[in-house]
Structure 1
């Protein structure tokens, strides 16, 4: 009952601000920096491509970084802010394994050298996520820009608004609805897990205490579960496993195929089979002939996500360094 109540409060709070969110999102535009910092998106892409070539795990990290920033308190780069007393968003448990901060800082330094105090850290996060998807053979799409950076970062925002890794479809849909995103956005954006990895604690409950009785999630393929228990014995917090066991560094439909055959790593991904709408989409996307459809859907949902709680115009700031201390 308490969790239902908290979700209801979450929905009501964000619904009250929805008109404002829609208004500010409308101020974003494609090519916002064409005059004030020409070529900045190419500069960002070139810098990131060199980093990606050196670290194939970085694209997934930057995609997740953008997601966690947007859901935490809006797409305003407040996830990048630091706190001396452990009260910033990046100090929250859901963000404990988020990475890519240094890459954004390095790109920001290059951008500042070209165009001082023009391009926001929030826009760099959106560009980096876009380039991460495309580098891993995902869709090429444009991003709206014109965001400004926030200067308040609260740990409780991340703890309150980030969807749980073991949430079912009803819970996930509520968290996405609270951000003005549709059920389809939730289903499509879940496929960001076609790249990257997760630490053992993110899925260990499925292996050792699925229903609270010390059991294993019966939805998991037995052979897959056996491999996971060998890699993640009880108490292991450091090891990681690929979210997509087939092609963890390639943006493709293998995520949905894994969900369909019981080899989804996270409970929230496996839960897509428990709802008629998400089940139908998963089944459709196990057919490679729908890859272009998925790419178009994913690009559209990323644009929608990039509009969450944006700051534009006189609201917010442009920082010369993204990861500053705020206390």
Structure 2
């Protein structure tokens, strides 16, 4: 681990400890206990991103499980604490399913007080990152259980996935965004619009009248500023889900440990 990253983790943990009694999420939460920490985090992450662009996708995913980061275009409310227990079963039941349709996805988001717009906007985070073959290979090998292919997929794209992901291939990965795999832009929505949404939940967005309208809008390059603004709002909304503050929860030293 780079020294700057280790220092970043130490500073974040220290500021969390010093601020344990404060009760609400807010901008500049650590301004008293650790002045300038948001700038420090941003500078450290910029250094990490330059060295390994794949970290960006992982950091976005971490926001679903609590993260500490100041994004490039919006202010992040900080002050969250970790829960006392992490259970894989909870993640499997609470996170949106990779093969879910819009009805299913909307219900999952509604439980967290997130709207259908939050659903389609936050799906745009798939402009970064990859998915392993088992999460989507059914779409090219056994869509309805009779060895068929999802007819809604763009044919050449489906052919490429078929060649990459054999039914017994559990290791290979495929980019979620077929247009610009390492850029945070509109490439994901352009992929979905063109019938190249990798996950079933991605493709589902274009088949619903409301989410499909947003996908269509984001297919236009002039909509980039709109997406960035919407994404900032939805990320803040998601950051307010299941908040533990004050003396609730804990400051977990090892985030990778879970309980079966």
- Note the residue ranges of structure 1 that are not aligned, 5 or more in a row: 1-25, 70-74, 76-124, 135-139
- Cα RMSD of the aligned pairs, angstroms, is 1.6
**Any idea what the Cα deviations from partners look like across 1:249-283, whole Å, max 9, x if unmatched?**
11111111111111111110000112110111111
- Tell me what 1:48 maps to: 45
Residue number in structure 1 paired with 2:76: 143
Once the two structures are TM-superposed, the CA of residue 50 in structure 1 deviates from its matched residue by 1.9
TM-score by length of 2: 0.87
Instruction: Give the alignment of 1:113-128 within 5 angstroms.
Output: 125-127=67-69
Determine the C-alpha separation between the residues in 1 that align with 2:198 and 2:126: 9
Higher helix fraction (1 or 2): 1
2:105 is equivalent to residue 172 of structure 1: yes
Counterpart position of 2:17: none
Shift of 1:207: 0.6
Deviation sequence 1:48-98 (CA, Å, 0-9, x none) = 22221121111101111222x1xxxxx4xxxxxxxxxxxxxxxxxxxxxxx
Give 1:61's aligned residue.
58
Alignment correspondent of 1:290: 223
Deviations 1:150-196, CA, capped at 9 Å, x for gaps? 22112221121011101000000000001110010001001100111
Q: Deviations over 1:294-325 (max 9, x none)?
A: 11100000000011101011212334x23375
1:148 deviation in Å?
1.7
The counterpart of 2:123, out of the listed 183, 190, 193, is 190
Tell me the distance in 2 between the aligned counterparts of 1:262 and 1:317. 44
2: CA distance, partners of 1:323 / 1:218: 41
2:150 is equivalent to residue 217 of structure 1:
yes
1:28 — aligned with what? Answer: 25
Does the 8 A contact of 1:260 with 1:283 survive in 2? yes
Structure 1 contact 151–326 (Cα < 8 Å) conserved: no
Output the CA distance in 2 between the equivalents of 1:227 and 1:263.
11
Give 1:326 deviation, angstroms.
7.2
Partner of 2:254: 322
Secondary structure in 1 matching 2:202: helix
Report the 3-state secondary structure (helix = DSSP H, G, I; strand = E; otherwise coil) of the residue aligned with 2:174: strand
Aligned 1:247-266 pairs, distance under 5 A: 247-266=180-199
Tell me the SS of whatever aligns to 2:143: coil
SS in 2 for 1:279: helix
1:292 positional shift: 0.8
Q: Between Structure 1 and Structure 2, how many residues are aligned?
A: 237
Q: Structure 1 residues 147 and 239 mapped into 2: Cα distance closer, same or farther (>3 Å)?
A: same
2:27–2:75: 8 Å Cα contact kept in structure 1?
yes
